Amino acid sequence: MKIRPLNDRILVVREDEQNKTKGGIIIPDTAKEKPRKGKVIAVGPGKLDEKGKRIPLDVKAGDKILFAKYAGTEIKIDGVEHLFMKEDDILGIIK
């Protein structure tokens, strides 16, 4: 299934977190927090300003990002969990 985000929305897939601590302790799924890092899959064309001009987004498909803890709306696409979020929910781009 192909999805194209609208306006300033972004489609992100979360990165998997480590299952072990540095000391070798295995963390069960119930104790894990959801990761706040992800990879941008698709971006919208940008939002409109008050004059109707399109403002392009700073992120592009393929960027790795850090986002707010409760950002976005979770959806499943082809059995994989994705997030739809606005550009404002992104804290930074990971280089």
**Sequence ranges of the domains in the chain:** 9-16+28-94
| Interacting residues of 6 by C-beta distance below 8 A, sequence separation 6+ | 44, 45
Q: Which residue has the higher pLDDT, 89 or 33?
A: 89
Q: Which residue has the higher pLDDT, 80 or 18?
A: 80
What is the dihedral sign for C-alpha 29, 33, 36, 37? negative
Domain 9-16+28-94 classification at class level: mainly beta
**31-35, 37-41, 57-61, 77-81: which range is least confident on average?**
31-35
| Interacting residues of 48 by C-beta distance below 8 A, sequence separation 6+ | 7, 54, 55
Written as six digits, the tokens of 34 are 């959801």
What's the pLDDT score for residue 40?
94
What's the pLDDT score for residue 64?
94
Q: What residues form DSSP beta bridges with 82?
A: 13, 75
pLDDT of 1-41, one tens digit each? 688 889 889 999 988 765 655 666 666 655 555 668 899 99
